[in-house]
Structure 1
Amino acid sequence: MLGVIGGSGLYQVDDINILDEVNISTPYGEPSDRYIIAEYRGKKAVFLPRHGKGHKYPPHLINYRANIWGFRKLGVDRILSVSAVGGINPLLKPGDFVLSDQFIDFTKVRPVTFYEGVYTIYDETDGKDDLVSEYLKNNRVVHIDVTDPFCSSMRKTLSDILDEKGYRYHKKGTYIATEGPRLETSAEIKAFSILGADIVGMTLVPEIVLARELSMHFASINVVTNLAAGISGERLTSDEVIQMMKEKNDQIKEIILSFIEKVPEKPDCNCEDVLDGAAI
């Protein structure tokens, strides 16, 4: 089943049938909000507002582990992340979509793994017979491969949808994740550009890492809401981010509906094999 992480209004679409809204308790604490279980053209999807309804959690205080574990408890095995980002690459324009294919992690204080050796938290109610449960139960130390962190099959589906709709987008992009909640300095953006970053945001990591640790497929579609610090020469504001996301809202919803309908039940990739040989 597909999980969608993004804003609180993404599931408010006329064609989507809301089946249930559920609170999930996890051993890692409470998720950002209730999970919205919905159906579209015979396919189910689970929605979660990353920051909680009303945007109550800043990026550095989102309970990423609880959010991802809650998806697991609901049977989600694929996650689509929707994010607002700043554009670093000069080829990017505000309003462009970017399909991330790599990330660079500049976060600092967030819990980044489920597998913490002797400090591991094991969910006795998990009830699944897989490597995730085995590794957690036995306090294994796990080092997952993130050479290619995003699901190639899901990215292909997104690319096909964007081609079909004719929206301006970029098939690849390196997302640099910063701690926040402050925005970046112009010197930081210059350094990030030298490192090869195309877009900058505050939420992708550890979200994608935690999902991959649970053998989930993960793809990210990003909206360039503004040019990053020092590029446009203008002062950055949250207002321009909110305004651009409002302008792109209908397109985002169309993409998500098409993705729910078209994403393969069995993606043609090796994401599910990430835990094989990863434990010490």
Structure 2
Amino acid sequence: MERVIGVIGGSGLYEIDGLEGADWVTVETPWGPPSDAILTGRLDGVRMAFLPRHGRGHVHSPSSVPYRANIDALKRLGVTDIVSVSACGSFREELAPGDFVIIDQFIDRAFAREKSFFGTGCVAHVSLAHPTCPDLSRACFEAAEGVTVHMGGTYLAMEGPQFSTLAESRLYREQWGADVIGMTNMPEAKLAREAEICYASVAMVTDYDSWHPHHGEVDISDIIAILGANANHARALVARLPALVGAARAPCPHGCDHALDHAIMTAPERRDPDLVARLDAVAGRVL
């Protein structure tokens, strides 16, 4: 099977040296248009697809990102592995601004977003105990050079677009045990699992949220400055990844690519044909 790596992140991530046959393609989905056109090409012999999560020029807020359309569009392009790159705040002194964290757990506090491809007329329940792919996550860890990178961490997904209150920040850090906080990895990770795509999350720490006694509240100008400094490291990580994982892809040993094997609960004769038709890309293998 051919590996196709999808990268969801900021606009700077598609400026990768050596991307062959680069072409922006428009993908139509039954869930509406994705955030933007998708840049496709090959890097070290591996097919790549780059999707600006917020759209070029940052036109989508975390709540308005069309998450279902984004994942569906990548699935239609044959993507087998998704690497999410996003900014986050830190709840831990040792996870300092400028560091990268390879996420392995989530707490989902987002509430204003569609979180599943399934619903009335075709109900499905996928396992999310381990929401990221260990193998793809390890590859991202190994691809990170020139930056301090931490393997493993719990990401608190908040709705936004405002940053946390001090009380919220203390709650998430002290009582819930979260390590970082961001606004975009949910429902992205859930939808990737439903679409049977391996998912890894590279979180770039930009600030200490509002809990830190010596750093105070989040300053957007500081975040932008650190994001700029980390852009080169993020591009380098993405550029190293294809050579690490290779162009051929074996079945995922953790079952990410067969998450729907026993997930669909609705009897075939009771399934909504219109919803089933919309699921042609993400669930066509089992429907």
Which residue identity does 1:196 align to in structure 2? G
> Counterpart of 1:83?
86
**Are 2:279 and 1:276 aligned?**
no
Match of 2:191 among 210, 217, 231: 210
Equivalenced residues, count: 257
Unaligned runs of 5+ in 1: 119-139
Instruction: State the 1:117 CA deviation.
Output: 2.4
1:217-250 per-residue CA deviation (whole Å, 9 max, x = no partner) reads: 0000010011111314423222222111110111
Does the 8 Å CA contact 1:93/1:227 hold for their aligned counterparts? yes
Residue 77 of structure 1, CA deviation? 1.5
The 8 Å contact of residues 18 and 36 in structure 1, kept in 2 or not, is answered as no
Q: Which amino acid aligns with 1:73?
A: R
TM-score (norm 2): 0.86
In 2: Cα distance, 1:233 partner to 1:4 partner: 32
1:171-197 CA deviation, whole Å, 9 max, x = no partner?
010000000101111110111111110
Task: Return structure 1 stretches of 4+ with deviation > 3 angstroms.
Answer: none
Q: From 61, 66, 91, give the equivalent of 1:63.
A: 66
TM-score, normalised via structure 1 length: 0.88
Contact conserved, 2:30 with 2:69, CA < 8 A, in 1? yes
Q: Is 1:247 paired with 2:229?
A: yes
| 8 Å CA contact retained: 2:143, 2:238 | no
Which has the higher mean CA deviation after the structures are superposed, 265-274 or 235-244?
265-274
Partner of 2:28: 25
Question: Residue 33 of structure 1 contacts residue 49 of structure 1 at CA under 8 Å; is this kept in 2?
Answer: yes
In structure 2, stretches of 5+ residues that fail to align are: 266-287
Matches within 5 A, 1:1-280: 1-118=4-121, 140-162=122-144, 165=145, 167-193=147-173, 194-231=175-212, 232-264=214-246, 265-266=249-250, 267-280=252-265
Q: 1:189 to 1:235 in 2, by over 3 A?
A: closer
1:166 CA displacement:
5.0
Give the fraction of aligned pairs with identical amino acids, expressed as a percent: 36
Q: Secondary structure at the match of 2:207?
A: strand
Per-residue deviation, 1:26 = 1.1
